[in-house]
Amino acid sequence: MATSTSWRPRKITVGGKTKSSVPTISRALRRAKPGDTIAVSPGIYHERVVLPCDGIRIVADKPGVVLDGATVVEGSAFRAARNRPGVFSWPLPEGSSSTIPWLWYNDEMLICRLEPLTSEKDHMCFHVDTGHRRVEINVNGKKMPGAAKITIPVVGPLIEINGHREVLVRGMHLTRSAGQAIDATGSERLTVEHCLITRAGGTGIRGGHNAHYVRNTIMECNGNAIWQGDGDDESLIEENLVVANAINWDPLEHWAGNLKQNGGSRCLYRQNWVMDHTPGPVKVGPHTRVFSHCFATGIWPDINCNNNAYMGNACARLPHAGMYIEHTADGNIAAYNCLQDCAMGITLRQAKANLVTRNWVFNREFFGWGQTHVSRYAAFGRGFDEVGKPITQAAESAMWGRQLFEGLCVWHAYDEFQEASAYNSLHANLIQVSGRAVSVPMASHSWPSADEREKAPPPGVLTNRLEGNYYDRMEGDSDFALLAQEQISDFETYRKHTGWDANAHTGRFSPDVLGLEPIWTLPWAARHSDVPVAILHDPTLQVRSENGIDEPMFWRSSHPQRDWINTPPQARWDRNDTGAHAGRRGVLFLQSTSRSKGRPFGQTITWTSAAIPVKPGITMAVDMWAKAEDVAPVNEGTGVSVVVRFLDAFGFESGRAALVNKDTRADLLAGTYDWTRVEARATAPEGACWMTVVMGLAPSDGKVCFDDIHIQLVDPPAPDRK
């Protein structure tokens, strides 16, 4: 049942027109207490936001809230450097960050140099002298135009969670930070949703234990889009659009991943899109190659990343691996992912007991960075044209203009770790190529020296299972990653070009278009078992906010306002810590129709699951438990409500099926009853790409609890063979 508190959450408005509003987010936070909502009005804010306590909600009151970490300096403010023609410097302001990974000169991005600038060869480059706290640039090798505009990131991170718990950030545009856009190091149960993060000087979102990062767009950041480290466990990263990160490659030396883990267990990465959007020709020596401007691996679990699941993600146009499971990343599953036009599809290096199955890997004529498919390791040696056979220098030179592509790869890296990949299963994957792509569908080899590569594989290689995979050449052009070529910096334009709706709910291409099976046919699931398969994350509702001020983890409320949660007797849901059907908790819906209490009746309050991919014609079985007390509908047809909604590829409803209403389970619509099992089936209509389960109370008095929710794919009947 809901617990009472000694305080009532408040709404503090920033940048509004009312007398009670405050001008900056930082000033609002100085007033804030746990449970308060900082509602930010549209505008551009130049400040660093530091959270003071747990339970804070920072939300955009309307679209158009921009937190900008950069300052614009005119060329006349720069001074010529002594004895270095063409080099000009500007002192960093007191208190600003000296971590500046990039600058813009009249909207053209300069290249970062780690060493001091010396002469004309550093044309269109910059260097940060941290000892003297100054920025040096060379824009044309001669002089600095006084009217030039130099944009310099000086604030970072833009939002520092500061180790606090139960924080929500929603609807913000965070741009041009000197460091991370959001630093969640040491925080717990942070939710970041519907945010646009662009041109962060470091990582877009860093850290977070038991975090939920959902439906964000993260693009053109200098570092990783999302990074998690040791202790950042049990997080859900889903439905994010990740585009062209790690684009300033010079200082990074390619040690970046769009979605990167250096630690973290029991996490779920689901239905994320990771890709580059600006491929173009580049002159490299005597050759001109088409390459990606995104110098990063797609999804990269790297060191101590165990028992994670990577399912239903799409990675495209990347110069490295689409998915790279590296040293001590053990016991993970990668299934139903799509890897398009990456230098390597899925690679395992010094990793053990991983399951890679039912992935679709294909390559056409897109070329990754570097001289071979080895990409980042090109400096250490040459690649392979087949299992275990090195590519000679002559053969490598002949390959310019072609892409050597590996679909699946197991590496045995003989370095200081002296370990081989073992006990992995790469099974039932589809590898396809088209055009002039030179391919190695499956490979197992060693690194780094050519001598060691030519040795027989270690005993560990014999324990890896690479079988039952399918390889063929594909016909036609199936580029699902074709995005706009122009520079895009706002929600509306980007959603328009990518096919995502305003809530970033779905991608343009459904699983059916991609030719993928639904992600919920898990390999270990008994398709004919009587035990339902838990498709939904946390089906028994155990992962839950402790202070009761925000929505349950991994689900979302369909109510247009969130302030009602702790303001009885208005309609609300809360956790149900007593009498749950399974585990310790369920979810409770409660509302009153009493006009005498000053609250209007007629609200419908619901809880909506994350989107689950479906195909038209498939049937899903929904199995859940419900318990009601004194539910009195305000009119016929209202009361306890459970509905399956089907959505098309753009997030619009294409059909629905009522599991509990007056025509299906009238016995559950009203009244009082103990835990009762609700079982029903729903068939996806034409055009359906996703389904969600929506449950709650249509306008009623009383309360209802739900718990233990499972969804199962119903096998189609066997064909009639008469």
- Tokens 């990347």 -> residue: 318
Q: Helix or strand or coil: residue 200?
A: coil
Among 297, 444, 270, 429, smallest CA distance to 362 is for: 429
Looking at residue 587, its pLDDT comes to: 55
pLDDT given at position 582: 56
Pairing outcome for strands 287-291 and 280-284: antiparallel
| In contact, 169 and 191? CB cutoff 8 Å | yes
Alpha helices of 423-545 — where are they, by DSSP H?
A: 450-453, 491-498, 511-514
Contacts of 93 (CB under 8 A, 6+ apart): 71, 154
Backbone angles phi, psi at 217, to 5 degrees: -110, 120
With CA atoms as reference, report the closest residue to 240 among 507, 481, 518, 600. Answer: 507
Give pLDDT, residue 248.
55
State the pLDDT at residue 223.
Answer: 83
Longest C-alpha distance within the chain, in Å?
93
Q: In the 8-state DSSP scheme, what is residue 585?
A: -
pLDDT, mean over the chain:
69
Query: Is-above-0.85 flag for pTM?
Result: no
Q: Are 75 and 55 in contact (CB under 8 A)?
A: no
Coil/strand/helix, residue 95: coil
Under DSSP, the state recorded for 666 is G
- Beta strand ranges found along 21-61 (DSSP E): 37-40, 43-45, 49-50, 57-60
* Separation CA 454–CA 198 (nearest Å): 45
pLDDT at 288: 39
pLDDT in tens, 122-144: 777 888 888 888 999 887 767 78
pLDDT-flagged residues of the chain (< 70): 1-7, 98, 119-121, 141, 247-255, 277-295, 364-405, 412-420, 433-607, 609-613, 649-652, 715-722
Query: What integer pLDDT is reported at residue 191 of this predicted model?
Result: 93
